[in-house]
Structure 1
Amino acid sequence: MSDAADRMLWARSALRIHCPHARRDVFVDGLVGDNAIALHRLFLVPARSPGPGGRVVDVAARRSLPLSPGSVLLLPSSRRYRFEFAPGLHLIGYHFRIEVVPGRDVLGDAVRFQRVAGDHALLERTWRAFAGTDMGSWLTTEGVLRSELAALVQPSWAAVEAAVLAQRRWGAVLADLERAGARRAVAGCARRIGMTREGFSRKFQRDLGISPSAWLSRRLADRATELLLYTDRPLASIAEELGFSDAFALSKLVKRVTGQNPSGIRAIRATLPSRRA
């Protein structure tokens, strides 16, 4: 087997697309707002969308891209954007990261704020697929995310290889950190392996490219999102399990990391195939 084929098989076993938000929306009254979240975003505007569509502004760079019908926009994570959606805008949105170590994105600087023309037939097929409940519809929506990323992003294999090595080196520590939840998890984890919090944080940042507190915030938001989507448990119960002082503290973290309130995430449950069958 060739080196290229070996690498493809290896990548399939190591890489995972984490995409807690993928849906279509019609903004009847438009929308104006801004936020910054720890996930990349891919916006697809089908040609059926009426009017000018609106725009997305990268606040720090003072650069804007139009949301015109038939376009595709890619937004890097952790940057503040201003959204100016015109009334009637039809939008497909994916919030995602590609990871080996859960919570750590491998795309990094490969993701740029950009807009390209989309394939009108593909955008229309994707719009219809989001209304479907069958496996074919799900495969279509998943496949579009991957195909668009293939056209827009060229990450290096070196970043993936570094993430695999970091996962092997830090896997047990990450599991311990996640089990501890929000209750002084970083200090406790450092103490259990015989390090100061400061030394632990420096080594973690050097090897994984993210601080332990930022990594834990992402993982706790991931777990909260899964529980909100796939269980009926009250927010207070989820907050207690994850080590938060109350539901409000968890709600703030989920909003900061994902850009959505827990109530909005829970409302998505009604659109899941298992809930509509």
Structure 2
Amino acid sequence: MSAQAEQHYFVPQPSKWPLVGAFALFFLGLGAAFTVNGVGFGKISLAIGFAILLYMLFGWFGQVIRESESGKYGHQVDLSFRWSMGWFIFSEVMFFAAFFGALYYARVISVPELGSLSYKLLWPDFNAVWPTQVAPAGVEGYRPMEAWGLPAINTLILLTSGATVTWAHWGLIKNNRTQLVAGLFLTVVLGMLFLGLQAYEYRHAMHEMNLTLSSGIYGTTFYMLTGFHGAHVTLGTIMLAVMLFRSMAGHFKPDHHFAFEAAAWYWHFVDVVWLILFVFVYWL
């Protein structure tokens, strides 16, 4: 990093990428609205939106990577990146807090209240236990998901992946490129394994346990929390895969590697969310 970059805050030139992103969001929103309402152009619009979004992501992030690797970013830019990633993760914490709050409300407040004497005249056969077993009309009963099967295996996988990404970070700090690449590769493989097992779990739950989104409040909260977490694991795996390819290309230095740190922060966040989810969704 040059001395000039350390002393001066980098100000980029006017960029086309925010405008490109606006077009991507426009086509995605339009396509989603049309698709939900059965309009034929909806899927085409969605495809156009995703294509523009991918073009923007590759172009914008590629520009940032080139600027970083050329030494244009100094301490102030690094600090801005750290604050930005910190606030982003905080927003994700609030995102999951809302869903865990919904689960808490259903289990601790709604279900006991519906089982109280005040509601016995309306629902005399309702049993105030979790998971609720009163299915909507026309919907067959379901079996709840057990904790000590695939969920426990996936917990072990994610905990191991947290250790491998930390091992990779230690390798980067020690300037051990082999350890860095090996640790990232193992973490990406473990992330993909987690997603594969979760997909198998969903298939088993839907076809053999009759556990679907229509399975009352239990089914809704189960798929809402595990599904959104799976989406975050997917994003984290993609981020770590990019870090792997960059590491193989010789990017990152022991004293200049915030992109790697940001991906590692996000992955540790995903790990912590899963531990909370495993306890309150699967175990208790």
Fold shared per TM-score above 0.5: no
Q: Rg bigger for which structure? A: 2
The structure richer in helix per residue is 2
Which has a greater percent of strand? 1
Q: Smaller-chain TM-score range?
A: under 0.3
